[in-house]
């Protein structure tokens, strides 16, 4: 039983990371019906943004007060990349056949990976991520549970981001604009809403969470690499579909469910099919099962619904 | 009010400044000319009717006015300036519209729908909306108040918290009008505001349009219900196959034989039966004078084919 709770906690941690990234897929999909496959790279670049901030300004410091600066640095970089990407690569294709932006997304994804690999000093192999004493220090023992501090950081980040996002969508003018655009772009335009700006905001919003996820990932794994966005992005996309693509709370739920299933599968499926080599198989098997019985996803909705 | 009183009234009516001046508006899609060289002038406090058989180009013309289409030729002057063909600029300048097929934001409440209409009249930027400074909060409260007032104005005050998609059909149409009014328009374009409504709702819609006019707005109405149009409008503009057939007072248009022909063509026996049947259903005492005044076939009959169509759609 202790093992169960331990794996539940590990699953929640992993799931929180997926959820933070998944929100970016779902928000953008809700607004422009585009699967932004380069979003995993936005997450990766956020991590490098945090690393660069630390290297340039705080090298050698491990005190907690640098963490907020690293988060700000991560968000600044990831949001910039996402907004530029939208402006340069997606906006010109807004009215193109749907395959065109999809292929573009894959192209951007490769472009960003290679750009980091080639131009970020030392990024050809994995780079150590700065260790912030307070969040990467010795794990805590809560009764039978071993709780890593970075896990609490990740889960806490998800909780705060989700609350802020809910507030933003449901209680602000801009959020109302996003809901309107997600439901009917032409009518929204006729209400005087700047649709291009709303689209950019959607990309920025997703990138903000992805940037935070990048920091969380770096703190948990101790190192980052230019390829880390690929699998994380794929899993987060799975989480978004699992929860119901277009639905923000669905992305959060989908991420957590996926994380927990992976953690449980590693621990409790016996024999040949158990253990960590099979965890991805079980994650995607879950996706297939859910899509067969509930194609719209767990909280499925066609638009960015009530967050 | 009866059509009879209107027959004496129009000459005495005076309107305010010119709000909309569309001249030579032409819209071609490839080889198809949907709207051909149409002029339309609307004044403050005036209700203009836009009629014509299905496919005459009425909605396309609306789309040209609101910047959804860029007219192939011609220009649209609004309050003296030529508008860029951008919906956002058009709304900001003071032109609002409703849609033939209702296009509310179904997953938002009635109040939120109307608040979206306030979007272009509030200045708070993205950042201030996150930080929630005092200016933003004041603006937000103001939007909420105005939205509630407009819901009350159209008679939907009690449904503020209902999701738009759950409202009855007639209420959805009125909600669209409230949302359009929220943009502070000088001119409102209504695309078939009574489509699918029962007689009571139609009467309410008429009263509502009069009240909108009384606020000093200019109104352009597309409608197939001829009795509604002729008892509502100060002037009526008839389009047929994208071209202006006639523009004039309801009496002039009503009695123009070409208008009747455009609607019912050369009636064969079947159609006449339908017309007669519909006519019998529609009979209402207060329109009698107008009918009596007309030579047969009365324009009343012109309404009937479209009514038949509407029943089919419902």
Report chain A (307 residues): mean pLDDT per 10 consecutive residues: 90 96 94 93 97 93 92 97 96 91 94 95 92 85 89 95 91 89 90 92 96 96 94 93 90 95 88 82 89 85 46
Tell whether B147 lies on the interface with A, counting CB pairs under 8 A. Answer: no
C-beta of residue B172 within 8 angstroms of C-beta of residue B106: no
A156 lies in some domain: yes
- Contacting residues of B for A194, CB less than 8 Å apart: 88
- Contacting residues of B for A183, CB less than 8 Å apart: 105-108
Lowest mean pLDDT among A38-42, A215-219, B80-84, B152-156: B80-84
Q: What number is the average pLDDT over the span B98-123?
A: 90
Number of domain units in chain B:
2
Instruction: Out of B184, B207, B223, pick the residue that ends a domain.
Output: B184
Q: What number is the average pLDDT over the span B52-65?
A: 90
Residue B16's pLDDT band, with cuts at 50, 70 and 90, is: confident
Q: Which residue of B has its CA nearest to A182?
A: B105
Q: What number is the average pLDDT over the span B274-282?
A: 53
Output the furthest CA–CA distance in chain B (Å, rounded): 71
Tell whether B88 lies on the interface with A, counting CB pairs under 8 A. Answer: yes
**Same-domain check for residues B32 and B75:** yes
Lowest mean pLDDT among A37-46, A252-261, B33-42, B137-146: B137-146
Task: State phi, psi for B106 to the nearest 5 degrees.
Answer: -60, -30
Q: What number is the average pLDDT over the span B209-238?
A: 93
Would you state the pLDDT for residue B273?
A: 53
A174 lies in some domain: yes
Would you state the pLDDT for residue B136?
A: 80
Q: What number is the average pLDDT over the span B82-99?
A: 90
Residue A154: CB atoms within 10 Å: 27
Number of domain units in chain A:
1
Here the tokens at position A127 are 């780079």
Hey, are the CB atoms on A191 and B117 less than 8 Å from each other? Answer: yes
List the single residue in A168, A186, A191 with the smallest CB-CB distance to B91.
A191
B29 lies in some domain: yes
A85 lies in some domain: yes
Would you state the pLDDT for residue B129?
A: 58
Which of the two residues, B136 and B229, has the higher pLDDT score? B229
Residue B6 has pLDDT above 50, yes or no: no
**Same-domain check for residues B308 and B210:** yes
Cα distance from B107 to chain A (closest Cα, Å)? Answer: 7
Residue B296 has pLDDT above 50, yes or no: no
- Contacting residues of B for A197, CB less than 8 Å apart: 126
Percent share of chain B, pLDDT over 70? 76
Would you state the pLDDT for residue A268?
A: 87
Residue B10 has pLDDT above 80, yes or no: no
A128 lies in some domain: yes
- Contacting residues of A for B129, CB less than 8 Å apart: 172-174
Would you state the pLDDT for residue A114?
A: 96
**Same-domain check for residues B78 and B109:** no
Tell whether B250 lies on the interface with A, counting CB pairs under 8 A. Answer: no
Residue B295's pLDDT band, with cuts at 50, 70 and 90, is: very low
Domain span at residue B48?
A: 3-94+185-313
**Same-domain check for residues B231 and B255:** yes
- Asked casually if ipTM beats, i.e. exceeds, 0.85, the reply is no
Would you state the pLDDT for residue A47?
A: 97
Hey, are the CB atoms on B126 and A174 less than 8 Å from each other? Answer: yes
Domain span at residue A51?
A: 2-229
Residue B137's pLDDT band, with cuts at 50, 70 and 90, is: confident
B99 lies in some domain: no
List the single residue in B88, B106, B130 with the smallest CB-CB distance to A168.
B130
Lowest mean pLDDT among A51-55, B117-121, B150-154, B165-169: B117-121
Hey, are the CB atoms on B112 and A193 less than 8 Å from each other? Answer: no
**Same-domain check for residues B141 and B217:** no
List the single residue in A168, A179, A194 with the smallest CB-CB distance to B88.
A194
**Same-domain check for residues B201 and B303:** yes
Residue B126's pLDDT band, with cuts at 50, 70 and 90, is: low
Is the peptide bond preceding residue B66 cis, with omega within 30 degrees of 0?
no
CA distance A257 to B250: 65
**Same-domain check for residues B236 and B305:** yes
List the single residue in A176, A190, A303 with the smallest CB-CB distance to B112.
A176
Tally A–B CB contacts below 8 A.
79
Would you state the pLDDT for residue B277?
A: 53
Whole-prediction pTM: 0.82
Would you state the pLDDT for residue B86?
A: 87
- Contacting residues of A for B107, CB less than 8 Å apart: 179, 183, 303, 305-306
Residue B208 has pLDDT above 90, yes or no: yes
Tell whether B121 lies on the interface with A, counting CB pairs under 8 A. Answer: yes
Cα distance from B2 to chain A (closest Cα, Å)? Answer: 35
Hey, are the CB atoms on B115 and A176 less than 8 Å from each other? Answer: yes
Cα distance from B127 to chain A (closest Cα, Å)? Answer: 9
Mean pLDDT of chain B: 81
């Amino acid at each position: 039983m202790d093992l169960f709770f331990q794996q539940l906690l590990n699953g929640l941690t992993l799931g929180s990371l997926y959820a933070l990234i998944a929100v970016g897929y779902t928000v953008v999909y809700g607004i422009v019906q585009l699967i932004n496959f380069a979003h995993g790279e936005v997450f990766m670049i956020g991590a490098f943004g945090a690393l660069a901030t630390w290297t340039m300004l705080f090298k050698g410091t491990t005190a907690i007060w640098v963490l907020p600066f690293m988060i700000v640095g991560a968000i600044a970089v990831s949001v910039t990349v996402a907004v530029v990407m939208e402006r340069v690569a997606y906006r010109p294709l807004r009215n193109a056949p749907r395959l065109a932006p999809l292929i573009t997304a894959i192209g951007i994804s490769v472009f960003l990976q290679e750009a980091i690999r080639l131009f970020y000093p030392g990024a050809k192999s994995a780079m150590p991520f700065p260790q912030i004493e307070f969040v990467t220090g010795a794990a805590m023992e809560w009764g039978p549970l071993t709780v890593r501090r970075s896990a609490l950081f990740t889960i806490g980040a998800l909780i705060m981001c989700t609350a802020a996002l809910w507030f933003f969508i449901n209680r602000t003018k801009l959020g109302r604009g996003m809901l309107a655009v997600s439901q009917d772009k032409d009518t929204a335009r006729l209400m005087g809403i700047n649709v291009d700006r709303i689209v950019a905001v959607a990309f920025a919003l997703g990138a903000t969470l992805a940037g935070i996820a990048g920091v969380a990932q770096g703190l948990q794994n101790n190192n980052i690499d230019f390829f880390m966005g690929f699998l994380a992005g794929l899993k987060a996309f799975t989480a978004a579909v699992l929860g119901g693509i277009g639905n923000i709370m669905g992305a959060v739920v989908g991420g957590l469910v996926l994380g927990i299933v992976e953690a449980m599968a590693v621990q409790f499926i016996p024999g040949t099919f158990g253990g960590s080599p099979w965890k991805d198989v079980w994650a995607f098997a879950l996706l297939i099962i859910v899509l067969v019985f509930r194609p719209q996803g767990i909280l499925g909705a066609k638009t960015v619904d009530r967050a | 009010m009866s059509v009879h009183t209107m027959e004496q009234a129009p000459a005495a009516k005076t309107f305010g400044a010119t709000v909309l001046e569309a001249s030579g508006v032409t819209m071609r899609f490839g080889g198809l000319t949907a709207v051909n060289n149409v002029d339309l002038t609307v004044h403050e406090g005036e209700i203009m009717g836009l009629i014509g058989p299905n496919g005459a180009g009425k909605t396309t013309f609306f789309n040209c006015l609101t910047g959804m289409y860029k007219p192939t030729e011609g220009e649209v002057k609004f309050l003296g300036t030529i508008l860029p063909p951008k919906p956002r600029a058009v709304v900001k300048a003071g032109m609002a519209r409703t849609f033939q097929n209702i296009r509310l934001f179904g997953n938002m409440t009635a109040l939120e729908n109307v608040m979206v209409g306030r979007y272009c009249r509030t200045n708070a930027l993205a950042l201030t909306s996150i930080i929630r400074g005092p200016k933003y909060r004041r603006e937000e409260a103001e939007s909420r108040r105005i939205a509630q007032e407009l819901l009350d104005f159209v008679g939907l005050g009690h449904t503020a918290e209902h999701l738009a998609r759950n409202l009855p059909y007639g209420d959805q149409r009125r909600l669209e009008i409230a949302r359009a009014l929220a943009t502070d328009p000088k001119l409102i374009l209504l695309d078939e505001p009574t489509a699918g409504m029962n007689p009571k709702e139609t009467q309410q819609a008429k009263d509502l349009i009069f009240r909108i006019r009384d606020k000093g707005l200019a109104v352009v109405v597309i409608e197939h219900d001829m009795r509604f149009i002729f008892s509502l409008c100060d002037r009526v503009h008839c389009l047929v196959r994208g071209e202006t057939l006639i523009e004039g007072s309801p009496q002039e248009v009503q009695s123009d034989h070409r208008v009747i022909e455009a609607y019912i063509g050369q009636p064969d026996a079947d159609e006449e039966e339908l017309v007669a049947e519909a006519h019998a259903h529609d009979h209402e005492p207060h329109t009698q004078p107008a009918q009596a005044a007309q030579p047969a076939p009365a324009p009343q009959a012109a309404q009937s084919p479209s009514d038949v169509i509407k029943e089919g759609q419902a």
